[in-house]
Amino acid sequence: MTSSRLRILSLLSCLTLSLSAGTAAAATAKTPVLVIHGGAGVNRASLSAQDEAEARAALERALHAGHQVLAAGRPALDAVAAAISVMEDAPQFNAGRGAVFTHDGRNELDASIMDGASGRAGAVAGVHRVKNPIQLARAVMEKSRHVMLVGDGAEAFAQEQGVTLVDPSYFRTDKRWQQLQKALKEEAGGQAHADIETARHFGTVGALALDAQGHLAAGTSTGGMTNKRYGRVGDSPIIGAGTYANDQCAVSGTGWGEYYIRAVAAYDICARVKYAGQSLQQAAEEVIDRQIPAAGGDGGAIALAADGSMAFPFNTDGMYRGWIGADGVAHVAIFRDGIGE
């Protein structure tokens, strides 16, 4: 075989490999998607027009913040952290600035984040001075050997890592303070325990993202429950209960945390997709709308699959929620006349 023919064959081989690589890259490239929630348990009767408008605006800001990250080609993890940070800064939601008060009149914040591509996760619970708990959860994941840090130890780690700390007064809002006073009055008056508990387990925020590389991430942040005692921790910072992500599925929950923990709700949804072959919608509805209510709990969740499909199950009057795709158009809903129905 002549040297010129060998060169031609070599060039053709390189061209074939190049085309194959390009085809493979095109096949694996994904359209970025961001999905968020601002908590289930929204009551239409008690939501004023102003409160609704402010909540919708905050959801849109969070969606655009996450979309900007994804549009720049950055990882899903960055988009999740960006979107949740915006919601933590918004007093409309029970997370960060808008956190509810404990029985002792304090704010105790919890958060978690998980990278579906690597399986890494980080979480914090019971912090009082961390401006954006989701950022500390990410620092735990990336800068420590641990998954969860709590209380004073978590705040000491935050200071070491340069995570922003604020005076506890930063989290005080009159709306949340009045909610505590009402709960204390009801408790002192002997109102039925179930009646008091019903309105206290909601208001978590969360975000899920699918980036251009096809990687998923999930995060959740909360102020816990009004009038809680004894350092109670719900599902939000617990990987598998309130937050979970793998290479096929990502979930963030919002609801009565004790039931989500017992059900390992976030993981169960993704396990149904991965091992039982259920669609994302079917898996999410089975866990959120059937399994948890059957046990006595309620709430909602957002779920996102690697193929870009989404689910927004909830069994309360409303759930703050939204999503944004590559076109940059934010879609927001609260009650059952919106997305995810």
For residue range 32-85, list pLDDT tens digits in order.
Answer: 999 999 999 999 998 999 999 999 999 999 999 999 999 999 999 999 999 999
The predicted structure's pLDDT at residue 203: 78
Residue from 16, 23, 102, 204 carrying the catalytic annotation: 204
Total residue length of the chain: 341
Evaluate if pTM is beyond 0.85: yes
Task: For residue range 124-168, list pLDDT tens digits in order.
Answer: 999 999 999 999 999 999 999 999 999 999 999 999 999 999 999
- Which structure tokens are listed for 265? 């709700």
Q: What average pLDDT does this structure show over 271-297?
A: 98
Beta strands at 148-150 and 205-210: parallel, antiparallel or unpaired:
unpaired
Beta-bridge mates of residue 111: 124, 221
204 is catalytic: yes
Domain 31-333 has CATH 3.40.50.720: no
Q: What residue spans define the domains of the chain?
A: 1-29, 31-333
- The SS3 of residue 322 is strand
Spatial CB neighbours of 69, under 8 Å, sequence gap ≥ 6: 78, 79, 82
**Which amino acid does the sequence have at 294?**
A
